[in-house]
């Protein structure tokens, strides 16, 4: 097929050539997912596959292991060479011998990758016994060693634990222990830290880098986050729409990106160092007019507060057995002030209570104590009827754009409902006009009114959710991880939209996020939460340049900063 | 990614589900079968089909046409040889009625009696009175399917409403509902039906009410579970944040999203109730004997089977089995087509 086939270089471990993969769809036609992708993974080096959702990065990596779904069609000229074996055309038995032994994989969701009914020790021992033929006792001893190596505390006790008894970070460590149990030559890590908190993410990355050095493995690291790549990769492959856009050493990617898409990916992610007025979006760069906008000067504070929260607390009752009740303090003594037209960022890791704060302010949870003053009126003591006018003025945008729109409603019904509830507009014709206007405002076509949510992408749905809130002309908008589930480029669009809307309508935002860089970009003031309590609150500038609290410092220190030349070992 | 303005009307979720269902050949076949049954049932209700089912068109236990061809030898067991009979004795001198015989014969001759020509065979055989089994089965479908549909409708309504209330509100109401549910399910089903039947008396309406009042438990549990799941979903929270009323959240927001469960349960109940009607009628607890239904046909045919008259049982049984199988397979396909998770 390939007349000028290169001789496999001795320092290449896996050579992927002209990979093309399509998926057979319902009608019987083949939808291409990956086209003409070639890259080589060197021995003892780390290659990063970077791209947004749908870029084909996971499909490319899984084809190495032969883990493609049943409807996948591999192009005839595709080759994946590992040790002179073509993995795409070898015998299934041969592939099974390689998979898990020479090449192993860790996935994004540790909880769904581990078998919930087996103790973690048994799960680690399984591959040891299958691939290395170890006996029960030897496998157990090796499993304890492995758990120790990946940094699980008390490995001899933990070996009998079940997955649900471990935290997310520990589960991912167990997955890594399983993956390295047979001393693989290549470890494929598919978004291994995306589901984890930043502090845990940093630990896992350090663990992977250390293991790679110690065992002389190669690492294929798949991620959507270029900043992560800078810390771990030697070479980077940037993919988009199933094709390789740029393939270069990590230094070149960060210092002199050649492809406009790479430049765009680097630029549209908010950074900790700068606070531009607007975020550039992919289209700007693809059209060749991309450049970093100017920084925004800090805005003045000190106006009258529109929303004031005093000593807010929320205690959940958990079932502690037949006659006992146990309580968990999800939120304790949270207080802040929010001025009209300003943004308060609430940051914290999972379980810090930040989402509960938003829910309690909205009265989606009933507060246990405290006051929420909206223009001086305590929302928590109003009954449903009195609350109704305030419902219009304070609104919430949720995290998951796939869950926050009713799948059985058309976009028109979704947008009209709040206006009907609050009698905004005289009749439906007028409301329809306003809905259409707002759709235009959030960059959606007017015919979207007659369509259903499932026809839209995640970013589009999030904009629909924002438009739904805007129909009521609210004064305060609570954004609960509203951009966290979106791709970087889409995230930039939505963040820009939020900023524009703030300027246009004078909205005040409570912006809840685990992502400190995003909060840095959008917030005027930042509130850091840990275990239900506020650990620090200050204006955005000072919290990022001079954090006072220990926890804030740790949090900031864990954020991947992209490629830092000094941090790299000299070649 | 960007949407063009070409497609103005877009397929809703129901249209998409229908499209998926149509691609499934088994489902389409089953749908056709069910449609034929429903058409026959409606036809018979309106008197278009099988209106003359009570005509005694054949001899008693007329054989089915195909079976008659297989063994066309007429049965001769009953006809004893004539010569073995004792010679006729003239009793006219001791018979007090003898003088009037001639008068009666004459009078009888004045009345025109036209004996209907009864055929030896019918398409699928005849029953004890020579009624066409095919027409009788079609007539019987009226009651059987009607009972299945109406009772399933009642049970689905009760189950959905109670499930929605318990799941949406939780707390005390949920506890109460669970208690009622547990009491209902702890009583053996047949016993419960017996009790209801004893109080309400027999009749088609009674059996519909009985089945409806006892069959809601399964669907209640499933709908309750769906509501427990959905009330925490973000789109419901968003509706609450907007200020949408409880009733609208329950029935306009959540109910359509549980429709796949409700619909599938409904058709499963139809199947179950058609079978239950048959069982109850067979046991003599169901519809009255003078009403023809598949159940009464089967009850009748248990004696016939001993005499070797198998066709009535076969036809009614096959009719029921075919409908039940078609509805079950259709339900399976519907679940696949409607389930939003599978997309």
Candidates A404, A410, A421; nearest CB to B234:
A404
Report d(CA A231, CA A267) in Å as an integer: 17
Decide if A417 and B244 are in contact by the 8 Å CB cutoff.
Answer: yes
- Same domain as A528, residue A481: yes
Residue in chain B lying closest to A395 (CA): B241
Cα distance from A15 to chain B (closest Cα, Å)? 32
SS3 B143: helix
pLDDT score of A304 more than 60 = yes
Nearest CA in chain A to B13: A408
Average pLDDT of the residues in A372-378: 90
Q: Does A244 share its domain with A292?
A: no
**Which among A230, A202, A208 is positioned nearest to A557, based on CA atoms?**
A202
Strands (E), chain B: 58-64, 119-122
Average pLDDT over residues A296-306: 75
Assign A317 to helix, strand or coil: strand
Query: What pLDDT band is residue A474 in, cutting at 50, 70 and 90?
Result: very high
Distance of CA A310 to the CA centre of its chain: 32
Task: Evaluate whether residue A115 is within a structural domain.
Answer: no
Q: Which residues of A touch B7 (CB under 8 A)?
A: 447
- Per-residue pLDDT at B7: 36
Tell whether the model's pLDDT for residue A478 goes beyond 50: yes
Are residues A271 and A346 both part of a single domain? no
Q: Find where tokens 């309504």 sit.
A: B157
pLDDT confidence band for B116 (50 / 70 / 90): low
Check whether residue A249 and residue A393 sit in a common domain.
no
Paired tokens of A535 = 């650990």
CATH number of B13-55+128-342: 1.10.3720.10
Chain B residue with minimal CA distance to A477?
B241
* pLDDT (mean) for B173-185: 91
Tell me if A395 is assigned to some domain: yes
Pairing mode, if any, of strands A243-249 and A235-240? Answer: antiparallel
| pLDDT of A378 over the 80 cut | yes
Facing A364 at nearest CB: one of B237, B245, B257: B237
pLDDT over 50 at B6, yes or no: no
* Domain shared by A534 and A400, yes or no: yes
Asked whether residue A230 falls in the same domain as residue A291, the answer is no
Hey, are the CB atoms on A406 and B7 less than 8 Å from each other? no
Chain B residues touching A462 at Cβ < 8 A: none
The enclosing H or E element of A14 equals strand A12-24
A78-110 per-position pLDDT tens digit: 889 888 888 888 888 888 888 888 899 988 877
In this predicted structure, what is the pLDDT of residue A2? 44
Q: Find the domain containing A274 and state its range.
A: 265-296
Task: Please judge whether A400 and B234 are an interchain contact, meaning their C-beta atoms are less than 8 angstroms apart.
Answer: yes
Q: Tokens for A324?
A: 């006992």
* Alpha carbons B285 and B204: distance in angstroms, whole number: 11
Of B3, B235, B241, the CB nearest to A448: B3
Q: Give me the residue spans of the domains in chain B.
A: 13-55+128-342
In order of A274, A290, A335, A366, A378, the CA distances from A527 in angstroms are 19, 32, 10, 22, 22
The whole-angstrom separation of Cα B201 and Cα B199 is 6
Helices (H) and strands (E) in chain B, counts: 15, 2
For range B70-75, the mean pLDDT: 51
Question: Are residues B1 and A457, on separate chains, in Cβ contact within 8 Å?
Answer: yes
Q: How confident is the model at residue B79 (pLDDT cuts 50, 70, 90)?
A: very low
Residues A502 and A434 in one domain: yes
3-state helix, strand, coil in chain A (%, to 5): 40, 25, 35
**Beta-bridge partners for A310:** A371
CB contact under 8 A, A454 and B9: no
- Smallest CA–CA distance, residue B226 to chain A, in Å, is 15
pLDDT higher for A2 or A62? A62
Give the span between the Cα atoms of B257 and B250, in whole angstroms. 10
Cβ contact, residue pair B243, A407, below 8 Å? no
Say if residue A414 is in the same domain as residue A531: yes
For residue B20, give the chain A residue with the closest CA.
A26
* Residues from chain A contacting residue B243 (CB–CB below 8 Å): 387-388, 391-392, 418, 421-422
Judging contacts by C-beta atoms under 8 Å, the chain B residues touching residue A364 are 237, 240-241
pLDDT at B178: 92
Q: Do A403 and B235 touch (CB under 8 A)?
A: yes
Q: Which residue of A52, A405, A406 is the best one to mutate when testing the B interface, meaning the one whose CB has the most B CBs within 10 A?
A: A406
Domain tally, chain A = 3
Among A280, A286, A236, A293, CA closest to A261: A286
Domain membership flag for residue A238? yes
Whether B298 and B276 have beta carbons less than 8 Å apart is answered as no
Q: Is A524 part of any domain?
A: yes
CATH for A452: 3.40.50.300
Look at residues A90, A118, A121 and name the one whose alpha carbon lies nearest to residue A103: A90
Largest CA distance in chain A: 78
Nearest CA in chain B to A470: B242
Q: How far is A256 from chain B (nearest CA, A)?
A: 29
List B187's β-bridge partners, or say none.
none
Same domain, A466 and A539: yes
If 0-12 CB within 10 Å is exposed, 13-18 middle and 19+ buried, where does residue B65 land?
middle
- Closest Cα in chain B, distance from residue A65 (Å): 26
**How much is the pTM?**
0.78
The beta-carbon neighbor of B242 closest among A391, A450, A456 is A391
Give B340's contacts in chain A (Cβ within 8 Å).
407
Rounded percentage of chain B residues whose pLDDT exceeds 70: 86
Residue by residue, DSSP assigns B78-125 as S---GGGSPPP---TTT-TTGGGHHHHHHHHHHS-------EEEETT-
CB contact under 8 A, A398 and B234: yes
Residue B149, Cβ neighbours under 10 Å: how many? 19
* Arithmetic mean of pLDDT over chain A: 85
Least confident of A320-329, B130-139, B156-165, B304-313: A320-329
- Distance, in angstroms, between A62 CA and closest chain B CA? 22
Q: What percent of chain A has pLDDT over 90?
A: 24
Q: What's the pLDDT at A3?
A: 43
pLDDT for the residue numbered B292: 84
pLDDT score at A291: 64
Question: Looking at beta carbons, which residues of chain A come within 8 Å of B238?
Answer: 396, 398, 404-405, 465, 468
Tell me how many degrees the CA angle B188-B193-B196 measures, rounded to the nearest 5.
125
Rounded (10°) CA dihedral A268, A270, A271, A274: 100
Count, residues in chain B: 343
Give the residue carrying structure tokens 């930039």.
A492
H/E segment holding residue A515: none
Partner residue opposite A417 with nearest CB, options B3, B8, B242: B242
Residue of chain A whose alpha carbon sits nearest to that of B4: A445
The pLDDT score that the predictor gives to residue B340 is: 55
Q: Report the chain A residue with the minimal C-alpha distance to residue B255.
A: A408
Q: How confident is the model at residue B70 (pLDDT cuts 50, 70, 90)?
A: low
Q: pLDDT per residue over A179-211, tens digit each? A: 888 889 999 998 888 878 888 888 888 999 999
Arithmetic mean of pLDDT, B201-228: 88
Query: Cβ(B104)–Cβ(B92) under 8 Å?
Result: no
CA A216 to chain B, closest CA, distance in angstroms equals 42
Q: For A278-290, what is each residue's pLDDT tens digit?
A: 888 877 777 776 6
The closest CB to that of B340, out of A364, A396, A407, belongs to A407
pLDDT at residue A475, as a whole number: 93
Identify the top-confidence range among A106-115, B43-52, B131-140, B142-151. Answer: B142-151
Q: What is the mean pLDDT of residues A358-375?
A: 90
Which of B23, B234, B243 is facing A421, going by the closest CB pair?
Answer: B243
A215-238 mean pLDDT: 89
Alpha carbon of residue A143 to chain centroid: 31
CA distance linking residue B338 with residue B20, whole number of Å: 9
In a domain, A2, yes or no: yes
pLDDT bin (cut points 50, 70, 90) of residue B85 is low
Answer whether residue A376 is part of any domain: no
Q: Which of B3, B23, B244 lies at the smallest CB-CB distance from A421? A: B244
Mutate to test the interface with A, among B10, B236, B240, B241 (most CBs of A within 10 A): B241
Torsion of CA A497, A501, A503, A507, to 10 degrees: -130
Kindly determine whether residue A418 and residue B242, on different chains, have CB atoms separated by under 8 Å. yes
Q: Are A547 and A553 in contact (CB under 8 A)?
A: yes
Running DSSP on this structure, what letter comes out for residue A31? E
User: Is the pLDDT assigned to residue B5 strictly greater than 60?
Assistant: no
Q: Which positions in chain A touch B343 (Cβ < 8 Å)?
A: 454
Q: In which element (H, E) is residue B209 found? A: helix B204-214
The pLDDT of residue B342:
41
Test A465 with B238 for CB contact under 8 angstroms: yes
Q: What is the arithmetic mean of pLDDT over A429-437?
A: 90
Q: Of residues A562 and B28, which shows the higher confidence score?
A: B28
Question: Same structural domain for residues A429 and A464?
Answer: yes
Residue A236 shares a structural domain with residue A269: no
Same domain membership, residue A351 and residue A254: no
Comparing CA positions, the residue from B309, B264, B321, B310 lying closest to residue B144 is B321
């Amino acid at each position: 097929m390939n007349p000028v086939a290169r001789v496999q270089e001795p320092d290449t471990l896996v050579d992927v050539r002209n990979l093309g993969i399509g998926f057979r769809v319902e009608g019987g036609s083949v939808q291409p997912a990956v086209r003409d992708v070639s890259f080589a993974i060197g021995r003892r080096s780390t290659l990063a596959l970077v791209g947004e959702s749908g870029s084909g990065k996971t499909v490319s990596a899984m084809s190495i292991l032969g883990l493609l779904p049943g409807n996948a069609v591999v192009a005839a000229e595709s080759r994946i060479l590992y040790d002179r074996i073509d993995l795409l055309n070898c015998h299934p038995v041969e592939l099974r011998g390689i998979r898990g032994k020479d090449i192993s994989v860790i996935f994004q969701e540790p909880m769904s990758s581990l078998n919930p009914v087996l103790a973690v020790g048994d799960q680690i021992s399984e591959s040891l016994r299958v691939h290395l033929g170890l006996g029960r006792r030897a496998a157990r001893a090796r499993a304890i060693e492995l758990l120790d190596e990946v940094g699980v505390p008390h490995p001899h006790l933990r070996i009998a634990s079940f997955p649900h008894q471990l935290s997310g970070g520990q589960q991912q460590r167990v997955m890594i222990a399983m993956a390295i149990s047979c001393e693989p030559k290549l470890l494929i890590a598919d978004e291994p830290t995306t589901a984890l908190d930043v502090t845990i993410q940093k630990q896992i990355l350090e663990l992977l880098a250390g293991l790679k050095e110690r065992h002389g493995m190669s690492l294929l690291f798949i991620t959507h986050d270029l900043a992560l790549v800078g810390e771990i990769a030697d070479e980077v492959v940037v993919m988009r729409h199933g094709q390789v856009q740029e393939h270069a050493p990590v230094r070149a990617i960060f210092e002199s990106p050649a492809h406009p898409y790479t430049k765009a990916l680097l630029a549209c992610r908010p950074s900790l160092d700068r606070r531009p007025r607007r975020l550039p979006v992919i289209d700007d760069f693809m059209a060749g007019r991309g450049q970093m906008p100017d920084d925004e000067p800090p805005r003045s504070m000190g106006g009258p507060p529109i929303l004031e929260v005093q000593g807010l607390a929320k205690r959940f009752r958990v079932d502690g057995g037949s006659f006992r009740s146990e309580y968990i303090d999800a939120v304790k003594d949270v207080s802040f002030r929010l001025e009209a037209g300003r943004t308060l960022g609430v940051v914290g890791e999972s379980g810090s209570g930040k989402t509960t704060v938003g829910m309690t302010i909205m009265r989606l949870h009933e507060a246990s104590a405290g006051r929420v003053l909206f223009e001086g009126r305590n929302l928590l003591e109003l009954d449903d009827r009195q609350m109704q006018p305030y419902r219009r003025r304070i609104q919430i945008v949720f995290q998951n754009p796939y869950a926050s729109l009713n799948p059985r409603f058309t976009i028109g019904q979704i947008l009209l409902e709040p206006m009907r509830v609050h009698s905004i507009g005289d009749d439906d014709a007028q409301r329809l006009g306003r809905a259409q206007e707002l759709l235009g405002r959030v960059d959606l076509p007017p015919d979207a009114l007659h369509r259903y949510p499932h026809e839209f992408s995640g970013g589009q749905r999030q904009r629909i959710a924002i438009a739904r809130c805007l129909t009521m002309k609210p004064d305060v908008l609570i954004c609960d991880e509203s951009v966290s589930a979106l791709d970087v480029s889409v995230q930039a669009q939505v963040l820009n939209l939020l900023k524009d809307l703030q300027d246009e309508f004078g909205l005040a935002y409570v912006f809840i996020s685990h992502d400190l860089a995003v909060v840095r970009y959008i917030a005027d003031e930042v509130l850091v939460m840990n275990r239900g309590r506020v650990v620090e609150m200050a204006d955005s500038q000072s919290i990022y340049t001079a954090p006072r609290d220990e926890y804030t410092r740790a949090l900031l220190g864990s954020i991947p900063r992209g490629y830092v030349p000094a941090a790299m070992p000299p070649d | 990614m960007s949407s063009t303005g070409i497609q103005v009307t877009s397929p809703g979720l129901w249209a998409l589900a229908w499209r998926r269902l149509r691609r499934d050949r088994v489902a389409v076949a089953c749908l056709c079968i069910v449609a034929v049954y429903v058409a026959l049932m409606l036809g018979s209700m309106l008197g278009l089909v099988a209106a003359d089912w009570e005509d005694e068109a054949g001899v008693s236990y007329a054989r089915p046409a195909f079976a008659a061809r297989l063994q066309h030898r007429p049965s001769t067991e009953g006809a004893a040889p004539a010569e073995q009979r004792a010679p006729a004795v003239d009793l006219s001198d001791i018979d007090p009625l003898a003088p009037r015989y001639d008068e009666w014969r004459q009078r009888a001759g004045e009345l025109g009696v036209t004996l209907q020509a009864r055929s030896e065979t019918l398409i699928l055989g005849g029953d004890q009175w020579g009624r066409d089994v095919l027409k009788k089965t079609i007539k019987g479908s009226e009651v059987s399917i009607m009972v299945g549909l109406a009772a399933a409708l009642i049970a689905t309504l009760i189950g959905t409403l109670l499930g929605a209330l318990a799941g949406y509100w939780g707390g005390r109401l949920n506890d109460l509902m669970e208690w009622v549910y547990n009491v209902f399910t702890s009583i053996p089903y047949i016993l419960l039906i017996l009790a209801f039947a004893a109080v309400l008396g027999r009749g088609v309406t009674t059996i519909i009410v009985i089945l409806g009042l006892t069959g809601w438990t399964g669907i209640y549990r499933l709908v309750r579970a769906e509501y427990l799941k959905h009330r925490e979903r973000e789109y419901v929270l968003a509706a609450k944040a907007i200020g949408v009323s409880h009733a609208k959240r329950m029935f306009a927001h959540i109910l359509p999203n549980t429709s796949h469960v409700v619909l599938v349960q409904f058709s499963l109940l139809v199947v179950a109730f058609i079978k239950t009607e048959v069982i109850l009628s067979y046991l003599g607890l169901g519809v009255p004997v003078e009403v023809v239904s598949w159940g009464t046909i089967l009850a009748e045919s248990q004696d016939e089977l001993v005499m070797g008259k198998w066709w009535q049982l076969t036809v009614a049984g096959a009719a029921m089995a075919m409908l039940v199988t078609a509805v079950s397979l259709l339900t399976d396909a519907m679940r696949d087509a409607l389930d939003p998770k599978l997309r």
